[in-house]
Amino acid sequence: MPPYRVVAGYALQVLVWGSTWAAIKIGIEDVPPFVFAFERGIAVSIVLTALALLLRQRFPRGRELAAAAVVGIFNTGTSWAIIFWSEQYVPSGIVSVFGATAPVWTAFLAHYLVGGDRLSALKLGGLALGLVGTAVLVGAPETAEGANTVIATALLALMAVTWAVAAILSSRTLARSAPLATVAAGTWVGSLVLAPFAVSQLGMPMRWSTESLLALGYLVIFGSCVGLVLNLWLYRKLRPTTASLTQVLIPAEAILIGTFWLGEPVSGRMFVGAALVVSAVILNAVAGGGSPAAGAAETPVAAG
């Protein structure tokens, strides 16, 4: 059984990342999505870089820098571009559901590429239950019809695969990297990826209201600076498959917030799906996640 600090960290990450999807929705109502994502990326990069310098953490170099750059491209650049843009057409809670498929891909890749993180019958059962719950949640609300919704859905499904690739790459290459400096380096690269998208929307109407500024601040401080570093720490304490299953719990919270706070569609199927994905996490824990085996270090997964 993981120590209480790991359990508390696990719960905190779910609470924080489960609420970021609503914050994104609030922000893009006033600011074009790519501009909002880029502003978040730059702010996070500056804060984390300052903290890393203050604490005299070593920034990644050579192979580590290359790995951090690729992780930044997937977990910040392309991921945030897809998420922020998609929330124009898909309810925020449902956007978060697509992240729940990341543990499936992580488990598959970890079985072959990460020492000590093997698939088992119980773990496969938990992952299957999580997929069923995800399918129930995806089919619950009504989303806007049209080509943009179809494109958004396809991109969100692909995004989960890139999260898993970034997770395994981090596990194999960034095991001993300084967390703040590593995340800062990756976020700078991700921000560069977002830059041309943001430039393309500079001519669009935007209004930095109190709500959008508060949403940006929450995303920067809690969603990224706290969430990403906490995520990195958790992956040093747990096996990749176990730690990445926070991505199964997060959509349940995101859908509830979207429903009761943002007024997004709600149905009984949502609550059934939420119960199924929570059961999947419990089943995976029974399968014996525990601490990472030798050679299996942290494998950060992105979030909104």
| pLDDT band with cut points at 50, 70 and 90 for residue 291 | very low
Query: How many CA atoms does the CB half-sphere of 89 hold within 13 Å?
Result: 16
200 is a domain residue: yes
Quick one: tokens of 288? 């014996």
pLDDT, position 298:
40
Q: What is the pLDDT of residue 165?
A: 85
Q: Which residue has the higher pLDDT, 139 or 260?
A: 260
Domain that includes residue 115, residue range: 4-286
- Taken in order 69, 75, 81, 84, the sign of the CA dihedral is negative
Question: Residue 197 domain-assigned?
Answer: yes
The answer to whether 73 and 41 are in contact (CB under 8 A) is no
In a domain, 144, yes or no: yes
Token duo for residue 64: 């580590």
**296 inside domain:** no
Pick the more confident residue, 53 or 273.
53
- Say which range, 123-137, 180-194, 212-226, has the weakest mean pLDDT: 123-137
141 domain residue, yes or no: yes
pLDDT, position 218: 96
Q: What's the rounded mean pLDDT across residues 66-94? A: 92
**pLDDT value at position 94?**
82
pLDDT of residue 59: 93
What is the C-alpha R_g of the chain? 18
Higher-confidence position of 182 and 192: 192
pLDDT reported for residue 113: 72
Q: What share of the chain is helix, strand, coil (3-state, %, to 5)?
A: 75, 0, 25
In a domain, 301, yes or no: no
pLDDT at 136 over 80: no
Say what the pLDDT of residue 81 is. Answer: 96
Residue 265 confidence (pLDDT):
72
Q: How far apart are CA 187 and CA 156, in angstroms?
A: 20
How confident is the model over 238-253, as a mean pLDDT? 73
Q: What is the pLDDT of residue 226?
A: 87
Q: 62, exposed or middle or buried, with CB in 10 Å at 0-12, 13-18, 19+? A: exposed
Dist. CA 149–CA 155, nearest whole Å: 10
* pLDDT on residue 284: 65
Q: Give the total number of structural domains in the chain.
A: 1
Report pLDDT digits (tens) over 12-51: 988 999 999 999 999 999 999 999 999 999 999 999 999 9
* CA dist., res. 210 & res. 213, Å (int): 5
Q: What pLDDT score was predicted for residue 220?
A: 95
93 in a structural domain: yes
Asked if residue 244 has pLDDT above 90, the reply is no
| pLDDT score of 108 | 72
Q: State which of 1-5, 29-33, 150-154, 222-226 shows the largest mean pLDDT.
A: 29-33
Q: Mapping DSSP to helix (H, G, I), strand (E, B) and coil, where does residue 141 land? A: coil
The answer to whether residue 291 is domain-embedded is no
